[in-house]
A and B are shown apart, each in its own frame.
Chain A
Amino acid sequence: MPYRLDDTAADLRERLYFPEVIRGVGILMKQFLRNFFFGREKNPDMLARDRSLSQNATLQYPEERVPYPPGYRGLHRLVPREDGRPRCVACYMCATICPAQCIYIEAGELPDDPIEKYPTKFVIDELRCVVCGFCVEACPKDAIRMDSGEHAPPSYTRAAQIWDEKRLLRGPPVSYQYDPWLRRGASSIPAEKLAEMKANAKPFSTVATDEYAQTPGFSVKNLAAEAKARGETLARK
């Protein structure tokens, strides 16, 4: 039995029947009016929703999603620095360690930057990726992260799951105080921009913390908006 009914004798009101019917309709009406007139709480953090008026608990997937726990390994991103260039120096460490061998890199040379080298091609086949996170661990530059909190968006073509550097390079920039372009300056970065980057730079952490693994405020909505802005559509043509 799913729940227990008390085996007590019905009292007079219950035996009269109608008052109870009216009370039941009343409860129904109350819930109906409450959910009908008071909007569904839209906070994507389900646990933080205010349930005092609306008790509607449905989640409008995929517009709304349950946030993943902080350690969740989502879609890769290539971390940009403030001037939009990738932090990645095309060292092939991630490609070397990747057990699925799904990262393909080609390196090019920057003429005007103390870092000299950058990926002209950086491709991840997200369908082959086994989401192990080794690439993130292996990167000596904190240039690849899986902090987007997203799994690969659904698509009708395999090609749409092969992410190139234009799609991967996104999200908030990160700078550390010891980054060579901050220490040595670069002819490609204007002086005031450099000062701003220096001000934003964080000390390099030797201990992995959630703060370093995750970028707060990084959401699928932004992702979708970005994709839309780029004119990409993953839907069936």
Chain B
Amino acid sequence: MADETKPPAPATAAPKPPPGPPAPPPPKNPGFVTCTIDGREVVVKPGTNVVEAAKSVGVEIPYYCYHKRLSIAANCRMCLVEMSNAPGGKLMPGCQMPVAEGITVKTETARVKDQQRATLEFLLLNHPVDCAICDQAGECKLQDYYMKYDQKPSRLDMPKVEKGKRVPLGPMVVLDQERCILCTRCVRFMREVAKKPQLGVDERGNESFITTFDGQPLDSKYSGNVVDICPVGALTSTDLRFRGRVWFMSSARSVCTGCSRGCNTFLDYLKETTFRYRPRENEAVNQEWMCDDGRLSYKYLNSERVLTAFQGRGAAARDLPLPAAAEAAAGALRKAAAGGALAALFSPVASLEDLLVAALVAKEGLGLSEVYVGGRPDGWQDDFLKRADENPNRRGLELVAQAFGLALKPFAELGPAIEAGRVKAVWAVGTEVPDPAAAAAFARLETLVCQAYNHGPLAREATVLLPAAPHSEADGTYVNFEGRPQRFELAYWPRGGARPHWALAAELGRALGLAWRFQSARGVWDELGARVAGSLPGFEWDSLPSTQKRRGLVPLAAGTVDGRLPGYRERVPTDAVGDTRMDLLKVTR
């Protein structure tokens, strides 16, 4: 061979190193990465991916499989963008690629647009598009992106692939395998967040579908979250299924009352009915998850509500106006207080404002020095979100008691005290009790004044029953088990004759001759908040963070089908500061 006969070249110079990649340019902003996205300069922390970097300057890159709290799968290909450092000029998945110093990202070019259309066409290829029966309609990424990036009719001229249409995965979740786009968000959620890898993908290609392992239900206590993160209508909630269209609903920023964690929620409601809770993002409390029991805990807001004041027990009960009921209650309580046979039972389900006024009336109006603590019995606990204590405001109750110098006594001591005849009258703010069987003892009482949300064992024994409004119908604050005060806002005005606990307690106080007057929960905080504010450093009453904008139907100017005023999914505008809701109310009511 020619090469072999060639004499070796003289070793005059050391062989040149192969030309490697050029040295990265020095960072423009030390400690940060600077790049250009659609002509805009972006400065982000190293390791930020392109989707997030683009979001920070208001450039939207569409995505399905990416979720900022889950690992990155990069399997939907919706987020492909042009990046200047891509090998061979390929389009790169923006969810997976971290930005590098000095690169240029383009999201608006014809190539990117073309691939977005192609990806959507692919995703919609076998998608049944049954938006008319799909519960995701209105918050579906396929609908949104189709309108924004595709808008092409189908070219499919053969039957779509058919898969399981109605597969109950577990107590909370129903799967429609046809609608699934196999983004595997649900699979990753169960593996990484819920730590119960109960979901997986079966088969391949066209035939793939999400399923649980053979014969095992999706029974994790966090399964409801997969419904929220599913970008399409494949996973639907057994609870909300077909009960309402999301575009009719409005949302209030609320707090779950399922346990003492106080997960931040959106309370979705239509007229005077709460339809569901959705987790609201709060990195410090619940990130953006909540447990199934909390998710279902809204039901007491809707059912068996006490809506008018009653006097008398059982068949003798007759309803009467609130002031008259308060007079009757105050008279009976005053008499019992004078005889020293009065006990107050405060529920840690009531809000901080409720308890402030209740404590004020107990202390100044009735001269009590101790209160019994009611509340729901303990439940299960895990090391993620759920706490065993199912009362949202136990810490709040402790703070209030401390501030007013009231001693707290356990509920277990109340029953024996009644049996022994030491207690002849009870004023219950909230009728949740840890031990429903113990409620039987309350039948012996001469006077039982109950402020109750629902008809229940204790409310049945009431001599005066006052209708209380739960957190969906009031403003207020809960203090969670870590001592974190969290505000919730009124979703709709109290049903029927119901009033928040603080208003009922203030009415009692008025009948007892106290001079305090309160206009609103805000007013309660202004008057009495100073007494507990020392224990809640940095808390401001108008501190609800503003909500994020959501895509959805623009409400009709004429109003909505159920006759309610035109509303928004989130009633408070994105840039709301403070309690603008009150200003809105002036306009819309």
Query: Taking beta carbons and an 8 Å cutoff, which residues of A are in contact with B?
Result: 89-93, 95-96, 98-99, 101, 103-105, 107-109, 114-117, 140-141, 180, 183-184
Contact = CB atoms under 8 A, between A and B. Distances in A.
Nearest to B129: A140
A99 B132 contact: no
Contact of B133 (A95, A98, A104, A116): A116
B563 interface: yes
A9 B74 CA distance: 106
B242 A107 contact: yes
A109 B561 CA distance: 21
A109 B159 CA distance: 26
A109 B242 contact: yes
B435 interface: no
Contacts of B561: 92, 95-96, 98, 101, 103-105
- Best-surrounded residue of A96, A180, A183 (most CB of chain B within 10 A): A96
A101 B559 contact: yes
Interface string B232-275: 00000000011101011000000000000000000000000000
B560 interface: yes
Interface string B147-181: 00000000000010010011000000000000000
B558 interface: yes
A182 to B, nearest CB: 12
Given A90-B242, A109-B242, A115 B559 contact: no
B558 A116 contact: no
B497 to A, nearest CB: 26
Contacts of B560: 101
A140 B242 CA distance: 17
- Best-surrounded residue of B162, B559, B561 (most CB of chain A within 10 A): B561
Contacts of A89: 132-133
8 contacts: A89-B132, A91-B137, A104-B561, A107-B242, A107-B243, A109-B241, A109-B242, A117-B133
Given A109-B242, A114-B165, A184-B162, A99 B558 contact: yes
A99 B159 CA distance: 37
B162 A101 contact: no
Given A92-B245, A96-B247, A109-B242, A115 B558 contact: no
Q: For this complex, into which size category does the number of interface residues on chain B fall?
A: 20 to 34
For the complex of A and B, 6 pairs with smallest distance between CB atoms:
A91-B132, A107-B242, A95-B561, A117-B133, A92-B245, A89-B133
Interface of B: 130-133, 137, 159, 162, 165-166, 241-243, 245, 247-248, 553, 556, 558-563
B248 A91 contact: no
A104 B559 CA distance: 14
Contacts of B556: 96
Given A108-B242, A114-B165, A141 B558 contact: no
Contacts of B165: 114, 116, 184
A92 B561 CA distance: 9
A103 B165 CA distance: 29
B162 A141 contact: no
A105 B559 CA distance: 16
Given A101-B560, A101-B563, A91 B247 contact: no
Given A89-B132, A90-B133, A116-B165, 12 more contacts: A90-B242, A92-B245, A92-B248, A99-B558, A103-B561, A105-B561, A107-B242, A114-B165, A115-B133, A116-B242, A117-B242, A184-B165
Contacts of A117: 133, 242
A93 B247 CA distance: 11
Contacts of A98: 561
A172 B442 CA distance: 63
Contacts of A101: 558-561, 563
Nearest to A103: B561
A98 B556 CA distance: 10
Nearest to A99: B558
Nearest to A111: B166
B558 A93 contact: no
A180 B560 CA distance: 30
Nearest to A97: B556
A48 B60 CA distance: 65
Nearest to A94: B561
Nearest to A183: B159
Contacts of A107: 242-243
B535 to A, nearest CB: 47
A112 to B, nearest CB: 10
Contacts of A109: 241-242
Contacts of B558: 99, 101
A130 to B, nearest CB: 11
Contacts of A92: 245, 248, 561
A96 B249 CA distance: 12
B133 A140 contact: no
A98 B559 CA distance: 10
Nearest to B162: A184
Contacts of A108: 242
B38 to A, nearest CB: 35
A109 B239 CA distance: 12
Contacts of B130: 180
A36 B159 CA distance: 66
Nearest to B562: A104
- Best-surrounded residue of B133, B243, B247 (most CB of chain A within 10 A): B133
B216 to A, nearest CB: 23
A116 B162 CA distance: 16
Contacts of B247: 96
A92 B559 CA distance: 15
Contacts of A95: 561
Contacts of B131: 91, 140
A162 to B, nearest CB: 14
Contacts of A116: 133, 165-166, 242
A140 B132 CA distance: 7
A95 B159 CA distance: 31
A183 B132 CA distance: 17
A64 B558 CA distance: 39
A89 B131 CA distance: 10
Contacts of B243: 107
Contacts of B559: 101
B504 to A, nearest CB: 34
A184 B562 CA distance: 35
